[in-house]
Structure 1
Amino acid sequence: MDTVADRVKHLRKQLKLTQTTLGQCAGGISKQAVSQWERGITEPQWEALNALQRACGVNPYWLLHGTAPMLESEHTPSADATPVGPSPPGHPGTCPLAELLDDLSRRLAAADPAVRDEVTRLVLRYLENPPAGARIAKAIELLLGEDENLPPA
C-alpha cells in the first residue's frame, strides 16, 4: 500500500465498514468525501484523523505515511518512541494525539481565520516531519497565545 488512498480503502475493508460508516467515524464526513480519499483525489484532514483515532483506534501515522501499525491497539509505545507532542503543564509524559487535537480544535474555534489557516499548515507539516514537533508545537502556541484554562507553567 503505497498511497493514502490505498490505506484508506484497506482500513475500511479491514474494519468491514461502508464508506458512509467510515465517514461517520471520521467525524461526519460524507460518503462522497471518503470516496475521494479512496480515489486519491483528496486526503483526510487532521480533524478526520483525530476522529478516526478516537472512534476506531486508527494510527494517523499509518494512514498518512504507512510507517506505523494500522491500529494503535497493535502497538505498545516503547521508551524510545517519538512523542506525539508536548505535554501540557502539570502532565508528565506525552499526551495522546486525540487529546492534543481536541485542545487545538477548541482553541482554533476562537482564533482568527488567518491563524486557523497557519495552524492547519503547521499541523500538516508536523505530520510530515514528527521530529520537528517541538518547534512546530511552539509555533502553534505562539500563534494561539496563552490558554486561560491551563494552569500557569
Structure 2
Amino acid sequence: MKIMRLTTKCRHAVTALIHLANRTDAETTVALAEISAIQGVSLSYLEQLFAKMRQAELVVGTRGPGGGYRLGQDPSKISIADVIDAIDDRCRADRLQGFDKSCPDKRNFAQDKWNEFSRDLYLYLSEISLKRFLDMESHAEADTEATPSRRQESPSKPSRRSAAA
C-alpha cells in the first residue's frame, strides 16, 4: 500500500499533462513557454517538473526549433498517481511504508486515520488515467452546451453560488 499527499507541484504537473494530451498527437510537441503562459507559472519551475516527468517516461522532449514536449505514453496508460510518483519524490518513502490496521497506535490514532485515508486516495488516483480525466472534461463541456442556464429555467430560484455564499 502507498500513502500520498497532493502538492501544488503535482497539481501543476497533472494540469500540464492534460494540456499536452489535449494539444498533441504522436508527432506534435508543445513548448513549455505556452504551458507557462496558460498556467501562470514560471518557465524554470515547469522545466524542473518536466525533467522529473521525462525521467519517469511520462513525457518526451524534442530540442531545437519547433521543439517542446509530448506525452511519452498513451493517455490511457498514465494515471494521476504515476504523475504524483514522478513529481513528489519527497513523499515516495512515506507512500511505500506499510500500515498495520490490526494494531493502530492509540496515541497516534488521528495520524493513523489520515495515513489510511491517504492510501485510499492514492489507490483511487492510480485508477484515474489522463484519458479518463479528458473524457470527464469533454462530457462536462457537452453537458454545459446541451443544458440551458438555470437562470433561464427558473429565475426565481437562487443559483448554487448565491445559495452557497
After TM superposition, the score normalised by the length of structure 1 is 0.28
More strand by share: 2
Ranked by relative contact order (alpha carbons within 8 Å, sequence separation 6 or more), the top structure is 2
After TM superposition, the score normalised by the length of structure 2 is 0.27
Larger Rg: 2
